[in-house]
Amino acid sequence: MNKAKLVEVVGRVVSTRKEALSAVDALLNAVQHALRSGDKVVLAGIGSFHVKMRKAKIGRNPKTGQTVPIPPRRAVRFKMSKDLFTNPSAASYNQQNA
């Protein structure tokens, strides 16, 4: 599902497409802001997003073979909820509404 499909689904609940787009944008901006500030984002029944620091490491340029230092950086991780993982009806919902 992409952003346009998400706006379409939210548009079924609110009165206009413009309101749906504003609601989706507000949600995505809130998630981005929370992750940038290091907070964990939990969506009940779906899963959680959190930021994890990756260690600095030594990489290799595949063209030249030269070693290149790779600095530490932040990466977003997603952990699926147990309900979504174990509930078979979730898969049928996706197939019906795709």
Amino acid at 33: H
H or E stretch at 45? none
Residue with tokens 């909820």: 81
- So what's the pLDDT on residue 90? 55
pLDDT per position as a tens digit, 8-67: 999 898 888 999 999 999 999 999 999 999 899 998 888 899 999 999 999 999 999 999
Q: At what angle do helices 3-11 and 17-36 cross, to 10 degrees?
A: 130
